[in-house]
Structure 1
Amino acid sequence: MAKRIIEVVPYDPAWPVAAAGAIAEVREALSGAITEIEHIGSTAVPGLAAKPVIDLMAAAEDLGAVGSRDAELARLGYWAGHHGMSGHLLYVRGDDAHRTHHLHVVTLES
């Protein structure tokens, strides 16, 4: 695994625009499998310095329905990450050394 360098940078007003684009792409790729999706984390807070990684959280009625759509997410550049948490899927865009997006998927009731 490549070593990741974690950096915190000044707020970038392009982050909400990038998040909105990623949300639209994921919403289309997972149409019918997710019920909600939002921009979360430090890049979602105007004016806050942050790691330059767009964090998204989506809710699904059934995580299996999302897991069966890995190919659609792969076409957007996301790959299944490993975090060891049950009831939570993680998809990462970018390579291990330079991630640009994290997509967290949880069940609607959680």
Structure 2
Amino acid sequence: MDEQQSWLAALHERVRLHSYDPSWAEVFLLERDRLLSLFPHRFLGIEHIGSTAVPGLSAKPVVDMLAGVESMAVAQALAEPLCRSGYTTSAELNATLSGP
């Protein structure tokens, strides 16, 4: 499955909630540390957000993160290296959408 097909499948995928899993906090910490290691001194902070960040709350098992940077120029400079490290940007998602 190519990237566009993957995005389209994700857009139409049935949402399934899972009981809270304490390992979600550890998954976040590991990924945050990986990003800080790959891109030292680029982020002002990286926070665990969304339903997986709330102890006891059922959630889709997707760990959401929010990373702060100093400026849009830094964010734009990080987009390509982040994609090479396994992330997909919303610009890529938006390019797969059609309609008015």
Q: Same fold (TM over 0.5)?
A: yes
The answer as to whether partners of 1:9 and 1:51 remain within 8 angstroms in 2 is yes
Unmatched 5+ stretches in structure 2: 1-7, 95-100
Give runs of aligned pairs for residues 58-73 of structure 1, distance below 5 A. Answer: 58-73=67-82
Give runs of aligned pairs for residues 1-110 of structure 1, distance below 5 A. Answer: 1-2=8-9, 3-82=12-91
Q: Secondary structure at the match of 1:78?
A: coil
Structure with greater helix share of residues = 2
Deviation at 1:31, TM superposition (A): 2.2
Structure 1: how far apart are the matches of 2:77 and 2:16?
A: 33
Identity of aligned residues (%): 33
Using structure 1 for the length normalisation, give the TM-score.
0.66
Deviation at 1:46, TM superposition (A): 1.2
Deviation at 1:69, TM superposition (A): 2.1
Q: How many residues of Structure 1 are paired with residues of Structure 2 in the alignment?
A: 84
Which has more radius of gyration?
2
Unmatched 5+ stretches in structure 1: 85-110
Using structure 2 for the length normalisation, give the TM-score.
0.71
- The root-mean-square deviation of aligned C-alpha atoms, in Å, is 1.9
